[in-house]
């Protein structure tokens, strides 16, 4: 239920940020919580991921139409909802008592991270600075470099730091 | 890296790319929550959790009869220096039925702390290798969950639950030299009357037939049939197509019970008993005596499985070279049309063949709903079966049709007179 509500909240927040328009196209916003809820009910992680992606699209649309703060709110709420849903899917088959305990911890941690990230994003909205063309290129190159480093470090985590790739063959048996 | 982290990375890259290319700061700002989430989450991922966890398993018994309750305990210990959120699941073996306890648990394990699972399950016949336990280690934000297995081996064997057969003594056509309980076709020490002959020096005086002496005036001694061991081959049919009922494995369980009961009974009588599983493969246990051999046969019957093979689709490839001439063949099978030819050929070659047929219709009765269609199907089945039985009787094969809902022992008591008629 909590996961369902948290999935619905980003869509409602987006609608609220746009001033509750009555355009029927806004009903498309419900695609995000709908796929999310179906994914949760069936235990399909990919469908929940699709719901999250739909929320990201909604946030991007809000960033263009309603400004950065509502978009940041939607994205932080979506992250919180996804953490909770993911944990719920992993824990749904374990006994209820243990599940509630662990879900409570996940909710607390995720709320802290989502709150901090929203706060950081909001604080960046207060800055005003001009960016020359070469500065833009430099930031782009730097950000892609950082992105590459992040990917490399994640690969290390993902494969458990174990040896991979081509190995020399063992010598033939005597 | 899980799906979550990958999607967040892609979204982050897209927000940065379009924010910078379009020079739209609001899009750039959207990457901040994702970046914070990724950096915090990935910095808290535990390194190589498989090396930090150790699993141990204990089972209440390693050998038990099918249908008994087995208690299983699994302990997963965190040997690292950081707390880990661990979800443990022990997969239930096929055919097992949970009785109590939990097979899944989740907890945040502190260093040196252990998570223990304990459950009881009713086991089905089989040989089980409980080799591993499923473990998921979640990092605090679930960005790189580790799912894998930890080794914690244990071996459990559930023997078929066999009943003790009483008063079943099927005489073989030929006996071995060793002493046993089967009456041989020659005079000697024993209890069953064999015949009379003239007295020879050295014969015991107590063997003198006084009535014959009084009648004829000649010295005559009574002879008894010598009791010897016999060679017995128990053949269990494991051809999948012979067990095409709602639950073929349940019918095979019944067949394995019958095979176990027959094997144990003949071992108790002192015979040499071998076991052949005929189906997807040939599994032959050489004939032997004694309790240890009986245990070996039970192990083989515990691991009997249904299988398909083009070669062994019918009984024509029954390896008769493994079965000494004149031995007693106990064939346990629901039987198929066409099997009577091979079994009849065995009788013609001098084997004594007894077939125990676990009745598939009796096994099905509890599973299907009552109705006119069911009655008709059962009647057709019964007619087919009686046609088969008729042909088997003509071929000289003794067949016992076993209603699996009832014990086998009372049914086999009636076997002896039937055999005598055949002889």
Q: What integer is the mean pLDDT of B140-155? A: 88
SS3 sequence of A5-71: HHHHHHHHHHHHHCCCCCCHHHHHHHHHHHHHHHHHHHCCHHHHHHHHHHHHHHHHHHHHHCCHHHH
CB A80 within 8 A of CB A112: no
Percentage of residues in chain B with pLDDT exceeding 70? Answer: 95
Q: Residues 22..81 of A with a Cβ closer than 8 Å to B: which?
A: 45-46, 49, 52-53, 56, 59-60, 63-64, 67-68, 71-72, 75-76, 79
| Rounded distance between C-alpha atoms, residue A10 and residue B323, angstroms | 77
What is the C-alpha end-to-end distance of chain A, expressed in Å?
A: 66
CB A71 within 8 A of CB B54: no
Give phi and psi for B170, each to the nearest 5: -85, 115
* Nearest Cβ partner for A121 among B33, B106, B146: B33
Structure tokens at A139: 């930031």
Q: Which residue of A has its CA nearest to B17?
A: A140
Chosen from A128, A154, A161, A162 to mutate, greatest number of chain B CBs within 10 A: A154
**Residue A138: count of CB within 10 angstroms of its CB:** 12
Q: Residues 132..171 of B with a Cβ closer than 8 Å to A: which?
A: 136, 138, 140-142, 144-146
Give phi and psi for B204, each to the nearest 5: -70, 140
* A137 vs A27 pLDDT, higher one: A137
Tell me whether residues B34 and A79 touch, CB distance under 8 A. yes
Q: Residues 17..76 of B with a Cβ closer than 8 Å to A: which?
A: 20, 23-27, 29-30, 32-38, 40-42, 45, 47-48, 50
DSSP H helical segments within B128-233, as ranges? Answer: 210-216
Q: What integer is the mean pLDDT of B13-38? A: 86
Q: Residues 106..165 of A with a Cβ closer than 8 Å to B: which?
A: 106, 109-110, 113-114, 116-118, 120-121, 124-125, 131, 136, 139-140, 143, 147, 150-151, 153-155, 157-158, 160-162
Q: What integer is the mean pLDDT of A14-37? A: 75
CB A102 within 8 A of CB B108: yes
**Residue B343: count of CB within 10 angstroms of its CB:** 25
Helix axes A31-42, A68-91, angle to 10 degrees: 10
CA distance to partner chain A, nearest, from residue B157 (Å): 28
Give the model confidence (pLDDT) of B58-112 as tens digits.
999 999 999 999 999 999 999 888 888 899 999 999 889 999 998 999 988 888 8
Tell me whether residues B29 and A72 touch, CB distance under 8 A. yes
Q: What integer is the mean pLDDT of A66-76? A: 86
Cα-based torsion angle of the residue sequence A117, A120, A125, A129 in order, rounded to the nearest 10 degrees: -130
Cα A131–Cα A137–Cα A139 angle in degrees, nearest 5: 70
Sheet holding B84-89, edge to edge: B63-65, B146-159, B126-138, B84-89, B104-109
Structure tokens at B103: 């097979």
Listing DSSP states for B110-126 in one string gives: PTT-EEEEEEEEEPPSE
How many residues are present in chain A? 174
Rounded to two decimals, the ipTM of the complex is: 0.75
Q: Whole-model pTM?
A: 0.73
Q: Is the pLDDT of residue B141 over 90?
A: no
Give the model confidence (pLDDT) of B245-258 as tens digits.
878 889 999 999 99
CB B143 within 8 A of CB B149: no
Tell me whether residues A158 and B1 touch, CB distance under 8 A. yes
Structure tokens at A15: 């609608």
């Amino acid at each position: 239920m909590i996961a369902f509500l948290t999935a619905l909240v980003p869509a409602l927040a987006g609608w609220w940020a746009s001033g509750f328009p009555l355009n029927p196209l806004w009903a498309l916003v419900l695609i995000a919580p709908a796929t999310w809820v179906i994914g949760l009910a069936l235990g399909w992680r990919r469908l929940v991921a699709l719901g999250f992606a739909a929320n990201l699209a909604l946030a991007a649309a809000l960033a263009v139409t309603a400004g950065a703060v509502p978009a940041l709110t939607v994205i932080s709420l979506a992250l919180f909802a996804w953490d909770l849903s993911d944990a719920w899917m992993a824990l749904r088959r374990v006994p209820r008592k243990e599940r509630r305990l662990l879900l409570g911890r996940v909710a607390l941690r995720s709320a802290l991270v989502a709150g901090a990230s929203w706060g950081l994003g909001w604080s960046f909205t207060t800055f005003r600075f001009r960016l020359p063309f070469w500065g833009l290129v430099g930031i782009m190159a730097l950000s892609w470099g950082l992105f590459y480093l992040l990917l490399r470090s994640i690969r290390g985590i993902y494969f458990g730091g174990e040896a991979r790739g081509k190995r020399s063959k063992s010598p033939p048996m005597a | 890296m899980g799906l979550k982290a990958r999607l967040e990375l892609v979204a982050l890259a897209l927000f940065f790319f379009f924010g910078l290319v379009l020079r739209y700061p609001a899009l750039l700002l959207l990457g901040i929550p994702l970046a914070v989430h990724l950096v915090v989450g990935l910095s808290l991922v535990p390194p190589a959790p498989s090396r930090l966890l150790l699993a141990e398993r204990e089972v209440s018994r390693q050998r038990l009869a099918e249908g008994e309750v087995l208690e299983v305990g699994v302990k997963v210990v965190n040997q690292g220096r950081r707390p880990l959120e661990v979800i443990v699941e022990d997969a239930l073996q096929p055919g097992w039925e949970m009785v109590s306890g939990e097979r899944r648990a989740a907890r945040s394990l502190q260093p040196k702390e252990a998570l223990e699972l304990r459950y009881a399950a009713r086991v089905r016949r089989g040989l089980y290798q409980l080799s591993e336990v499923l473990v998921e280690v979640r990092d605090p934000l679930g960005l790189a969950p580790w799912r894998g297995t930890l080794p914690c081996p244990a071996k459990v064997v559930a023997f078929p639950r066999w009943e003790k057969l009483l008063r079943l003594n099927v005489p073989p056509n030929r006996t071995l030299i060793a002493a046993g309980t089967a009456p041989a076709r020659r005079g000697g020490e024993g209890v069953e009357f064999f015949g009379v002959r003239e007295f020879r020096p050295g014969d015991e005086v107590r063997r003198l037939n006084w009535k014959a002496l009084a009648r004829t005036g000649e010295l005559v001694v009574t002879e008894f049939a010598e009791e010897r061991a016999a060679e017995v081959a128990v053949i269990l049919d494991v051809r999948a197509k012979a067990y095409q009922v709602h639950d073929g494995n349940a019918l095979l369980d019944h067949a394995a019970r019958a095979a176990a009961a027959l094997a144990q009974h003949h071992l108790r009588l002192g015979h040499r008993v071998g076991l052949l599983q005929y189906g997807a493969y040939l599994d032959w246990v050489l004939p032997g005596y004694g309790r240890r051999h009986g245990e070996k046969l039970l192990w083989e019957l515990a691991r009997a499985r249904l299988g398909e093979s083009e070669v062994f689709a019918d009984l024509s490839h029954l390896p008769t070279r493994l079965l000494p001439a004149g031995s007693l063949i106990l064939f346990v099978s629901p039987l198929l049309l066409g099997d009577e030819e091979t079994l009849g050929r065995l009788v013609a070659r001098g084997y004594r063949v007894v077939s125990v047929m676990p009745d598939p219709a009796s096994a099905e009765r509890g599973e299907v709903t009552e109705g006119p269609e069911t009655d008709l199907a059962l009647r057709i089945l019964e007619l087919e079966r009686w046609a088969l039985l008729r042909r088997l009787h003509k071929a000289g094969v003794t067949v016992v049709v076993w209603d699996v809902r009832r014990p086998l022992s009372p049914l086999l008591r009636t076997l002896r007179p039937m055999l005598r008629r055949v002889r």
